[in-house]
Amino acid sequence: MKHTDISKLFQNSEDYLDREVTVCGWVRTSAEVKPMTFIQINDGTTSTKNLQLTIHQERISDEEYKSNIKPLLSLGVSLKATGILIASERNGVELEVETIEMLGDCPSTYPLQKKKTSVEFLRTIPHLRTRTNLMKTAMMIRSRLAYAVHSYFTQNGYIYLHTPIITDSDCEGAGEMFRVTTQPWNASYNTEEEYFENDYFGQKAGLSVSCQLEGEMAAVGGLGRIYTFGPTFRAEKSDTPKHVAEFWHVEPEVCFADINEIIEIGEDFIKYIIRDVMENCSEQLSFCDKFLEKGLLDKLNHVVNSEFARVDYTDAIEILQNSGRKFEYPVFWGCDLQTEHEKYLTDEHFKRPLFVVNYPKDLKSFYMKQNDDGKTVAATDLLVPGIGEIIGCSERETDYDKLVNAMTARNMPLENYQKYLDTRKYGSVQHSGFGLGFDRLVMYVTGINNIRDVLQFPRTYQHIY
Ligand code: 4AD
Ligand code: MG
């Protein structure tokens, strides 16, 4: 259908003023103020700005008005209109309608009526909530952030790698993988092995929790510097505002880089994509600043213009112990940092993004480089105020024997990791990487405080929206 995007009418209005244009969209509001009728429409090319269609009632017969215009005044109707674009003090531009027709009717059962709706209610209509200002804004910022992720890595010479989603190894060694199977349980199988032998792949398979191991194999395998960006899956039963079972994961892997270099890359990367979205989604971010998180723009400005903080895990424990705070979970060297601890560190103590470095090795995964102290690993989490961890990062253990020992200590089946171990056998090199939870980044940038509202169709524990 030949028509012009509403965004173009606002952005390049001088090209269209006093000319005839055709637009399409969904009705957001309408009003009859004799002798005029106003209909505001949105076509998805702008987030919150709607185009006003102006109809002069006296130019149409009563009968025609009743049969052709009246039905267009309901919320959610889709329509097509042609007319002259004119300047408007209030709206910038508006369309003086010459002809108008309905594309799709929308009965009064339409769940998005004018009254204010809660985010909880909107989650029950994921297929329609993309018509709200909130979701349109979230989806536009999300889309631009994804574009910025690709442009950052492309500009810096990374290869965009496609890794399998179906896998036979649980990357984190934490046993929280969804299983992939085509066969129902059958009581005649005596053992698990027997059962899996008859399954589609002839062995146990699941959905990948992280592309890291494949990423490492590609980078050390000769590609040098790669990144992956796609969905990964976690079967942990965490019903919180920041966990989904299917999340989008950005994972670079960089050869010849130690922990400090990968931290610098992580900081540079986050600043780059936030700067990009500030330049290209200013209208959407202003909306977020006004309605979702007061001071959001100042926060983002501060993030791109100041250095992220860094603290050793051991020092972070000391800060928490000396805080005078009573925490629900006890703080001691070796404890996992809980949300309340992370919150104190980022929101109250450091007040900016914070890399916590050198965690106790028992808290972290097998593949992390073991430090000389014998107690810690060269790993860091990037914590941000309001959310907590958005990046998990480490230098990787490159010593074959140390790696095997770490795997054995965790009872991992070495036979499943032979290819991975080979990378430490044939030309092993220092390398580091990280995983960014993309959905959490969208939360941070928009001020949306529940991960269910930065994905159109979130999947969470006990729920497929
Ligand atoms: O810290 P994680 O588990 O690290 C890894 O998976 C590494 N293999 C990454 C790597 O080094 N290549 O996950 C990385 C990030 C977390 O910091 C978090 O932001 C996000 O992924 N994340 C989740 N986001 C939403 N829902 C969940 N259930 C998430 N689990 C992890
Ligand atoms: Mg982590």
Dihedral sign, CA of 325, 326, 327, 330? positive
Ligand 1 atom having least distance to the Cα of 234: 28
Q: CA-CA distance, 243 to 254, in Å (whole number)?
A: 27
Minimum-distance ligand 1 atom for the alpha carbon of 252? 12
Who wins on pLDDT, 58 or 115? 58
pLDDT at 113 over 90: no
If you search the block for the tokens 């200002």, which residue do you land on? 133
The pLDDT of residue 433: 98
For residue 335, the 8-state DSSP code is P
Determine the residue type at 271.
K
Residue 104 host element (H or E)? strand 92-104
Model pTM?
0.96
DSSP state of 351: -
Mutate to test the pocket of ligand 1, among 250, 339, 440 (most ligand atoms within 8 A of CB): 440
Task: For residue 285, give the amino acid letter.
Answer: L
Q: Whose CA is nearest to atom 22 of ligand 1?
A: 437
Q: What percent of the chain has pLDDT over 70?
A: 99
CA distance 126 to 268: 34
Closest CA to ligand 1's atom 23? 437
pLDDT band at 446 (very low <50, low <70, confident <90, very high): very high
Ligand 1 atom closest to Cα of residue 253: 12
- Return mean pLDDT, the chain: 95
At residue 267, what is the residue type?
A: E
The 3-state DSSP composition of the chain as helix, strand, coil percent (nearest 5) reads 35, 25, 40
CB 449 within 8 A of CB 138: no
How many angstroms is it from 210 CA to the middle of ligand 1? Answer: 8
Pocket of ligand 1 (CB under 6 A): 171-172, 210, 212, 234, 243-244, 247, 249, 251, 389-393, 433-435, 437, 439-440
For 17-57, write each residue's pLDDT tens digit: 999 999 999 999 999 999 999 999 999 999 999 999 999 99
Ramachandran region, residue 126 (left: φ > 0; alpha: ψ -120 to 50; beta: rest): alpha
* Per-residue tokens: 237: 């039963």
Look up residue 96 and give its two tokens. 């003086």
Per-residue pLDDT, 175: 58
CA distance 10 to 52: 11
Residue 215 CA, closest ligand 1 atom number: 12
- For residue 61, the CA-to-ligand 1 centroid distance in Å is 62
* Alpha-carbon separation of residue 220 from 191, 209, 348, 426 (angstroms): 37, 20, 40, 9
Q: Using the structure block, give the residue that is written with the tokens 């989603």.
A: 165
Tens of pLDDT, residues 209-244: 999 999 999 999 999 999 999 999 999 999 999 999
For 192, list phi and psi in degrees, rounded to 5: -60, -40
Return the axis-axis angle of helices 133-155 and 282-291, rounded to nearest 10°. 130
Residue 245's pLDDT band, with cuts at 50, 70 and 90, is: very high
> How much is the pLDDT for 131?
95
Taking only the tens place, the pLDDT of each residue in 348-398 is 999 999 999 999 999 999 999 999 999 999 999 999 999 999 999 999 999
**326-340, pLDDT tens digit by residue?**
999 999 999 999 999
Q: Alpha helix locations (H) across 219-328?
A: 259-280, 282-291, 296-305, 313-321
Residue 174 pLDDT? 57
